[in-house]
Amino acid sequence: MGYIEDLKAAQDRLAAANKEHAAAVKSAEQAEKKARREHDSLVAKNEKALKTLDAKWGKPIETFGSLKLFADKVASPTTTLDITEGVGANVDTSGLLKKHVFLTITSKSGQIVEECDSDKEKEAREFGAKVVNQGSEASSAKANYESERTRLTEEIQRAKDDTAAIDAAVAAAQAARDDTAAIDEATRQLEEVKASATEEDLAAAKEHEDKARKKKMAIGGAAAAVILIIMLFATHTICFHRWQEATCTEPETCSVCGRTRGEALGHSWIDATCTKPQTCERCGETTGEALGHQVDEWKTTKKATCTSEGKREGACVRCGETQTESIKKKDHEFGDWVTTKEASCSEKGERTRTCKNCDKKETEEIAKLDHTPGDWEIQTAPKVSSDGSVSAGTKVRKCKVCGEVLDTESYTLDLTMGQRNALAKAADYLSFTAFSFSGLVEQLEFEGFSHDDAEFAVENCGADWNEQAAKKAQSYLDFMSFSRSGLIEQLEFEGFTREQAEYGASAVGY
């Protein structure tokens, strides 16, 4: 093989190496773009799912008439349903007033009434039941919604953070760009061929190159002539015109060279109508706006009531077309309030008023009445100990009507000097001998205490009178014998009651 063939083969190898390198780089860059698209697509998919979930959550899950029930609206525990039948304002084919059903939903936030034909009573009840029972369902639906929303949000964040595939593709693309080993080898081989050339090889290569150049020049001259002719036509130095008709906005125009002649025709406007703006009859272009219908005289074809809209008709003064409009509902004309349940200080009352035209009822609460305070009453009396100390008692003030306790206060007693000393003296006596209630009162009076102080001291000395009877019975038996009846009589003589005396006798063995 000669020098020229070796040189061409080396040049072809270098060109092939460059082409393969470029193809490898392009493939790696396409893989990188694909990884980015798949990553972005996964993020977008989850974001779209989240947006769809939020949009669905805000839509009503059930409707009835003008009422809407949403998944996230939880009914209150006091929500109630009431279905009543009455007479509506609509008239049937026989001329009689049609029976209507009134769906009333009452909750802590107020009262809603929806009117419908009586044949829709079943639908009204089903819708009302769903409202009343919506609490647990709404709570469950809300929990599911929040759980799914949390899951999608986490999926979106995970997808955004997961860039492993992109990172690998980027690394592969960079490796492809850096891999020039084949190009370097082909370049080295080309340089070796060039370095091995002799003077005869170089002369032969130059002669070969000159012949190729002359051949290209000959071909180029013929091409130049063709290009010149084309340019003459392209610059319309030579043009066989093809004229297109003038329009409203353009004169006659050559479709080949774009040259024009004459003038544009201009628009031919048709007057605006009620429904269309000014319009060109040639090209259809419009300007301004439609005039709109104008009705000077209206005729009411259906009167508005408080339950339904009315209608009116009139002819347009320009085009004669009949126009129809709705007349908004009238306000209800309610009568006087009627009390259906009197309010008290323990319960709210209720009153109702009715529309004079459609029998629609409106109900509202009557506030509770104020309580009527009574006098202070002792609930727990103060407790006086035998040592003279006093534990506070309690007194209350109740409502005279319902008996509810309105106020509570604690109170105590201030002992007089006589009461304190009588208590001390009673304790002294009881410490060494037994007494009956009346016997101890008499003993204290003998000591000079007033009857009231003596009785106060005995009532609050803390003595158990049954036990005192038992001690007195034992003291008698310690120095004298008694029959059971005799012992009981002796104890009654000492001031003990019959029951206390019998207890004392039994306590000592009788």
**Residues 196-216 pLDDT 10s:** 777 776 776 667 666 667 666
Report helix angle 484-493 to 498-507, nearest 10.
Answer: 130
Q: For residue range 328-372, what is the model confidence (pLDDT) as tens digits?
A: 999 999 999 999 999 998 899 999 999 998 889 999 999 999 999
Q: Quote the DSSP letter at residue 328.
A: P
pLDDT reported for residue 91: 40
Q: Could you give the angle at the alpha carbon of 432 between the alpha carbons of 431 and 436, nearest 5°? A: 80
Question: 391 CB contacts (<8 Å, ≥6 apart)?
Answer: 382, 383, 384, 385, 412
pLDDT reported for residue 464: 94
Above 50 in pLDDT, residue 142? yes
**Mean pLDDT score of the chain:** 81
415's enclosing H/E stretch is: none
The percentage of residues in the chain with a pLDDT greater than 70, rounded to a whole number, is 76
Above 50 in pLDDT, residue 424? yes
The amino acid sitting at 284 is G
Per-residue pLDDT averaged across 461-490, rounded?
A: 92
The whole-angstrom separation of Cα 425 and Cα 448 is 11
Task: Count Cβ atoms below 10 Å from residue 312 Cβ, excluding itself.
Answer: 17
Per-residue pLDDT averaged across 415-425, rounded?
A: 90
pLDDT reported for residue 337: 93
Residue 69: band (very low, low, confident or very high) from pLDDT cuts 50, 70, 90: low
pLDDT reported for residue 471: 95
pLDDT reported for residue 429: 93
Per-residue pLDDT averaged across 467-473, rounded?
A: 95
Q: Where are the domains of the chain?
A: 1-75+133-202, 248-292, 373-411, 417-507
Which residue in 469, 475, 480 sits closest to 504, CA to CA? Answer: 469
Q: For residue range 11-60, what is the model confidence (pLDDT) as tens digits?
A: 888 888 888 888 888 988 898 889 888 888 888 888 888 888 877 776 66
Q: For residue range 75-111, what is the model confidence (pLDDT) as tens digits?
A: 445 555 565 655 444 444 444 445 666 666 665 555 6
pLDDT reported for residue 448: 95
Contact 190, 14 (CB under 8 A): yes
Above 50 in pLDDT, residue 482? yes
The whole-angstrom separation of Cα 270 and Cα 35 is 59
Q: Six-digit token pair at 488?
A: 């009981």
Q: Six-digit token pair at 268?
A: 């031919």
Higher pLDDT among residues 101 and 404, named by residue: 404
pLDDT reported for residue 71: 56
Above 70 in pLDDT, residue 278? yes
Above 80 in pLDDT, residue 284? yes
What does 227-290 look like in DSSP terms, one character per residue? HHHHHHHHTTSS----EEPP-SS--EEETTT--EES------EEPP-SS--EEETTT--EES--
Instruction: Identify the weakest region by mean pLDDT among 176-185, 225-234, 259-268, 391-400.
Output: 225-234
pLDDT reported for residue 86: 55
Per-residue pLDDT averaged across 118-127, rounded?
A: 72
- β-sheet bridge partners, residue 67: 64
Residue identified by tokens 């000492």 is: 494
Main-chain phi, psi angles of 68, to 5 degrees: -130, 140
The amino acid sitting at 112 is I
The whole-angstrom separation of Cα 320 and Cα 493 is 124
Question: 393 CB contacts (<8 Å, ≥6 apart)?
Answer: 378, 379, 380, 381, 382, 383, 410, 411, 412
- β-sheet bridge partners, residue 310: 327
Residue 414: band (very low, low, confident or very high) from pLDDT cuts 50, 70, 90: confident
Q: Model-level pTM?
A: 0.32
Per-residue pLDDT averaged across 166-175, rounded?
A: 87
Residue identified by tokens 């003596």 is: 454
Per-residue pLDDT averaged across 133-159, rounded?
A: 77
